[in-house]
């Protein structure tokens, strides 16, 4: 737990609240969020690593991933992301018996380009399993699970060296390939490279290096930059990537560039000096990495797809441990237009954020366990809560902290709302139980009525949360929130 800091309503706190109130009149009203809550139940697929979920124009999501046997390429499809968890799986290609593409079949990705399906993947040789190279399959037919697949061959790069994790994307009408490869002249594992493509299995021009592992968090166990994944937002191109060994030290880094820049100029790319997604002991998620991005069913939210393990300690080589599994959660965006990955959330139903109806851009969060309303919450998980069956029972819900599992929003005896640990008592359960109602100021939102004290709702006053009676228009607005 963090070291407590004083949160008394001293003169500085009151002054800050007054200034904020002057800047944002309480009569302000938010519109329904453009990106509402997108809640999924993890895990999506056990023993499936390096996962990709691709939403196609036919209304289906297509899923592919590395299988622990490293011997085949599998596909699933479903009309929803959650539906992929139970969708039947089809093997569309199996490794060769000898020669190339006969070992270590890794990290397949599926794309639909100019009317055909393409799967890029990596594979080793029967005589040298570590002679990993990138290859492409082409499929004809509306449904890739039943398509006729042909091998288009190896993606040739500047070197004949260890290379993998190819992904393709388009920026301003130009198609690119990004991948990981070992520079034979450097004592290194893999860097990230990028080049234009002349067709889905051929690069053109001279590849450029986007990133090389130099930070400590990129070189733990192995010097690795791999698994690039691309998302575009607000005129910028972001490339997340995986770093370090594939155990609990595995994590995500981030590169960014303007979409109007020369993307083949290494100077166009800025690297985050710190990882953006790491292991989290509180939620029991370890080694999150090799991600991709997709979109929610309504098209309004970006979704992070990644793998991790539910335990930290691994016996032997992590690549021989089969239990990396596919998970998803909503990706949020900071006010400055950069992605906020948050933390790998606990297994089960994913958390949401609760934004204020009458203070746009302000969210319920905890700060030293006090529940309050605040904008620009950089530590995303402080403003995420999981809606779970109410500890009080009787049709109630409880709101569990995302980054402190077992801690819940609850009303203390003085009416203040805090995030406290469940002590198992009936009194605690009652104080952490709420009836989730349609929003008192907008039925598209939600309001939370206290189970313990009927007629009292969670509302914000001076940007701190209390449960209080609600009767006026202002009070109803203060007690209304949107799930995001």
Q: Catalytic amino acids? A: 50, 226
Q: DSSP character for 147?
A: P
Angle, vertex CA 199, rays to CA 203 and CA 252, nearest 5: 55
Query: Which of 197, 192, 193 is CA-nearest to residue 171?
Result: 197
Neighbours of 401 (CB within 10 A): 25
Angle, vertex CA 254, rays to CA 253 and CA 259, nearest 5: 165
Q: Provide the terminal-to-terminal Cα distance of the chain, rounded to the nearest Å.
A: 26
- For tokens 């990596």, what's the residue? 122
Give yes or no for a contact between 51 and 60, defined as CB atoms under 8 angstroms apart.
Answer: no
Question: Both tokens of residue 362?
Answer: 């302000």
The answer to whether the bond into 43 is cis (omega within 30° of 0) is yes
Task: Give the C-alpha separation, 325 to 321, whole Å.
Answer: 11
| C-alpha distance from residue 262 to each of 7, 196, 197, 268, 417 (Å) | 48, 12, 15, 7, 50
């Amino acid at each position: 737990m963090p070291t407590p800091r004083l949160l008394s309503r001293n003169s500085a706190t009151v002054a800050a609240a007054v200034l904020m109130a002057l800047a944002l009149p309480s009569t302000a009203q938010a519109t329904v969020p453009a990106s509402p809550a997108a809640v999924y139940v993890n895990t999506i697929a056990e023993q499936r690593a390096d996962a990709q979920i691709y939403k196609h124009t036919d209304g289906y999501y297509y899923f592919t991933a590395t299988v622990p046997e490293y011997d085949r390429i599998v596909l699933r499809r479903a009309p929803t992301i959650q539906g992929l968890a139970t969708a039947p799986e089809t093997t569309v290609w199996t490794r060769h018996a000898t020669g190339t593409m006969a070992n270590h079949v890794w990290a397949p990705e599926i794309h639909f380009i100019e009317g055909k399906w393409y799967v890029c993947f990596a594979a080793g040789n029967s005589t040298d399993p570590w002679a990993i190279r990138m290859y492409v399959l082409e499929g004809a037919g509306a449904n890739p699970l039943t398509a006729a697949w042909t091998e288009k061959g190896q993606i040739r790069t500047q070197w004949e060296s260890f290379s993998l994790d190819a992904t393709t994307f388009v920026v301003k009408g130009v198609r690119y390939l990004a991948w990981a490869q070992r520079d034979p002249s450097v004592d290194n594992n893999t860097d990230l490279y990028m080049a234009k493509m002349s067709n889905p299995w051929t690069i053109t021009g001279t590849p450029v290096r986007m990133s090389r592992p130099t930070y400590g968090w990129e070189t733990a166990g192995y010097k690795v930059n791999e698994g690039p994944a691309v998302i575009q937002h607000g005129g910028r191109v972001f490339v997340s990537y995986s770093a370090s060994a594939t155990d609990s030290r595995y994590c995500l880094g981030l590169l960014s560039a303007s979409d109007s820049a020369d993307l083949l100029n290494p100077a166009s790319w800025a690297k985050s000096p710190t990882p953006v997604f790491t292991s989290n002991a509180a939620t029991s998620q370890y080694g999150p990495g090799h991600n991709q991005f997709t979109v929610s069913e309504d098209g309004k939210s970006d979704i992070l797809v990644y793998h991790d393990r539910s335990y930290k300690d691994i016996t032997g080589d992590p690549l021989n441990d089969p239990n990396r599994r596919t998970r998803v959660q909503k990706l949020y965006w900071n006010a400055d237009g950069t992605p906020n990955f948050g933390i790998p959330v606990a297994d089960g139903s994913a958390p949401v954020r609760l934004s204020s109806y009458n203070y746009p851009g302000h969210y319920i969060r905890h700060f030293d366990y006090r529940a309050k309303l605040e904008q620009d919450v950089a530590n995303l998980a402080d403003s995420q809560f999981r809606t779970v069956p109410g500890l009080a029972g009787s049709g109630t819900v409880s709101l569990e902290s995302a980054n402190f599992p077992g801690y819940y929003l609850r009303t203390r005896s003085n009416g203040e709302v805090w995030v406290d640990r469940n002590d198992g008592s009936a009194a605690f359960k009652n104080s952490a139980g709420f009836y989730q109602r349609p929003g008192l100021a907008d039925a598209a939102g939600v309001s939370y009525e206290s189970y313990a004290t009927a007629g009292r709702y969670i509302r914000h006053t001076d940007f701190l949360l209390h449960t209080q009676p609600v009767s006026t228009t202002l009070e109803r607005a203060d007690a209304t929130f949107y799930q995001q």
